[in-house]
Structure 1
Amino acid sequence: MEKQSHILLTGASRGIGKAIFETLDIAGTRIVGHASSARGNLIGADLSLPGAAEALWNAALERLDGRIDVLVNNAGIFEPNPIDRSDIEWLDGWEQTMRINLTASAELCRYAVRHWQETGRGGRIVNVASRAAYRGDSPAHWHYAASKAGMVAMTKSIARGYGTDGILAFSICPGFTMTGMAQDYLASRGGPELLKDIPLGRVAETSEIAEIVKFCAVDAPPSMTGAVIDANGASFVR
């Protein structure tokens, strides 16, 4: 990799993504961020729509002078989808979450792998998954847990399949993290009572997850490729 890393980060407008953007926006990097709609210097792309991932990749390549060294897939949604909805509503909820959380991430991973194979440069993928990939989630969030489990399996497959090309892949699995999305969920599940399930006694800070992403994106030794890093306050250990 060149001394200066070119980074594409999805879901950069708030929460964990905003913290990642600020942490990676350091000397020696050029970072392009994404949001669901254009704002400031972030590229807008609605990842629920066909073709959006390709348009985002191409726009990022243009901004980064035709080279991306690191892809960080952080964009995702966490919306309830209870089983007592109508059949079509439940299926729409399932497919919307899969489309944004998993399929768009897969598309971007594919573009990245092909880009690095063509250039012969190698690169890094960091996929922000979730504790739910292993522990599961609430009865209203089957789809979310399944999408994150798929992301972990995809990351491992990329690491195993393309290591000889110098392509490294890492998964990060946060538990509850103090974002607006998590605060709403904590409140809906009893707030302080839910914290009793976390031995650390608190949820993670976005800055903590951002530091793990930075490590994987910039500093992690190549032999760590394929690793899944947990950050859940020991609420789930493997």
Structure 2
Amino acid sequence: MPTILVTGSSRGIGQATCEALQARGVRVIGQATAARDADTIAADFADPPAPQLVWEEALDRAGGRIDALINNAGIFVANSIDSSDIAWLDAWEDTLRINLTAAAQLSRFAVRHWLDSGREGRLVHIASRAGHRGDSPAHWHYAASKGGMLAMHKTIARAYASQGILSFAIAPGFTDTSMADDYLASRGGAGLLADIPLGRVAEPEEIARIATFCALDAPASMTGAVIDANGASYVR
């Protein structure tokens, strides 16, 4: 039975991914700001030491072996350029730390774990369409964090493929999660949907199916790939 660490596991894409993995017989260890069950580690990635504490606790619970890491934790908070200088900078630093730096820390621990043990391993990064096409005027920081995640993912894939360490990224568009609700409302709802040829946003379960495929089934030759899931609202 493989053991997989999933961050941001308490709702939305993270919760759906945990359920999809468990249905495949995977032992899932989650991370959330507040633990919802005995399989979830409570930690706030706004706190710099938190990713290391999560990794060490997960490794201990897993008996010293983690087979895959899914970097899903993230925040999506508006940050107007008219905010005060301090508030604007604080929002940048919080978003970059939670969305990118924490994922980088955990990826580093995972890669070192697999290199030291001589085992193969998989990383799955939940990025965003915004990493390719940008986002709204109030979300420079969010787009930058997801663009950075994609660059990090590609670097890891190129660096460690020969050692059996594979990296995959998923770039959803809007997904029906609580994180996106306020944004959908602020952008007009129906007007925003008009920009999605599919006519609807993605369901968390759809993204979870892709994440599960990447973590368990994707062929090794796919390492480095970015899978778009945006209803054809942005095609490359």
Unaligned runs of 5+ in 2: none
Aligned pairs, number: 235
1:23 to 17, 20, 24: 20
Aligned to 1:206: 204
Instruction: Please give the root-mean-square deviation of Cα atoms over the aligned residues, in Å.
Output: 0.8
| Secondary structure, counterpart of 1:25 in structure 2 | helix
Amino acid of the structure 1 residue aligned with 2:182: D
* Aligned-partner Cα distance in 2 for 1:28–1:13: 19
| Secondary structure, counterpart of 2:143 in structure 1 | helix
| Secondary structure, counterpart of 1:57 in structure 2 | helix
| Secondary structure, counterpart of 1:203 in structure 2 | coil
* Aligned-partner Cα distance in 1 for 2:175–2:96: 21
* Aligned-partner Cα distance in 1 for 2:68–2:218: 13
Matching of residue 12 in structure 1 with residue 17 in structure 2? no
TM-score, normalised to structure 1, is 0.97
Matches within 5 A, 1:91-170: 91-170=89-168
Instruction: State the Cα distance separating 1:183 from its structure 2 match.
Output: 2.0
Task: Point out the more displaced range, 66-75 or 18-27.
Answer: 18-27
Aligned to 2:69: 71
| Secondary structure, counterpart of 2:23 in structure 1 | coil
Displacement over 2 Å in runs of 4+: none
Matching of residue 55 in structure 1 with residue 67 in structure 2? no
Aligned to 1:228: 226
Matching of residue 33 in structure 1 with residue 11 in structure 2? no
Q: Per-residue CA shift, 1:156-182, capped at 9, x if unaligned?
A: 000000111100000100000001121
TM-score, normalised to structure 2, is 0.98
Amino acid of the structure 1 residue aligned with 2:53: A
Unaligned runs of 5+ in 1: none
Instruction: State the Cα distance separating 1:27 from its structure 2 match.
Output: 4.3
| Secondary structure, counterpart of 2:131 in structure 1 | helix
* Aligned-partner Cα distance in 2 for 1:113–1:148: 20
Instruction: State the Cα distance separating 1:28 from its structure 2 match.
Output: 3.5
* Aligned-partner Cα distance in 2 for 1:89–1:171: 31
Task: Point out the more displaced range, 70-79 or 178-187.
Answer: 178-187
* Aligned-partner Cα distance in 2 for 1:202–1:39: 30
Amino acid of the structure 1 residue aligned with 2:180: A
Instruction: State the Cα distance separating 1:216 from its structure 2 match.
Output: 0.2
